[in-house]
Amino acid sequence: MCGRYVLAENLAHLVKHELEEPPGEWDARYNVAPTQSMPILRRSEDTDTWRVDHFQWGLVPFWSKDLKIRQNLFNARSETAAEKPSFRAAFKSRRCLIPATGFYEWAGPKADRTTYYIQRADEEPLIFAGLWESWDGDGRANPLRTFTILTTSANQEMSEFHHRMPVVLDPAGQELWMQPNGQDMPALENLMQPLPDGSLKVRRVGSWVNKATNEGPECLGPADGRLF
């Protein structure tokens, strides 16, 4: 599960691959929520090189009649994405990478939830496996481009408070995932594994991040810090 994440690094430092054009400057984001526009990496449809684009988080399949579906498609189960109608076309030919520096999870009852920030133990960026789609179901002049983050079973650190976690790819996995029209489905599906135990570090943060409209470094503040 991944319903909020952080992208606090400059894209030029984070993307370790030759791109069609420089990614440009990027303002740090500390509370990214579904429906918001965020940078992803994908293959250019014209030149077959990698490029950075800003798409909305929450997948809208090309066949959808309206936008309501995206409220439930900000994550996709990697175990079924290759066959599920909402994701199978994108899994075959519209795969992407979503850069992040960390993400949030919650534990406990709704009335008294505890918020945790999760990042790599070595503080290197997290590169999530994702899928993207193009939708013009309402006849708009410019198609709406959207994405979803793939999830898999939790590793030891994540299992303390959730049974799912984002699929995080290493450099070799990123190359394989981004191969154009890759049809080696067993190889692609084999990438959909949790990070090894010990790869993540988790710390408790305050409730400022709980409100999706709150933004800024305060989101990573201590548990007894600023409240909304």
- Tell me the β-bridge partners of 107: 114
| Residue 48: half-sphere exposure toward Cβ, Cα within 13 Å | 4
Taking the CA atoms of the chain, what radius of gyration do you get in angstroms? 17
pLDDT at 1: 67
- The CATH number fitting domain 5-102+124-195, selected from 3.40.1190.20, 3.90.1680.10, 2.60.40.10, 2.40.110.10: 3.90.1680.10
pLDDT of residue 227: 41
CB–CB of 116/106 below 8 Å?
yes
In the chain, what's the furthest Cα-to-Cα distance? 51
Q: How confident is the model at residue 111 (pLDDT cuts 50, 70, 90)?
A: confident
Distances (CA, A) of 214 to 87, 98, 207: 31, 22, 10
Catalytic residues: 2, 105
> What is the pLDDT at residue 181?
67
Which amino acid is located at 102 in the chain?
A: G
**Do 96 and 134 meet the contact criterion of CB atoms below 8 Å apart?**
no
Rounded distance between C-alpha atoms, residue 179 and residue 224, angstroms: 46
**pTM of this prediction?**
0.92
What local confidence, expressed as pLDDT, does residue 228 receive? 37
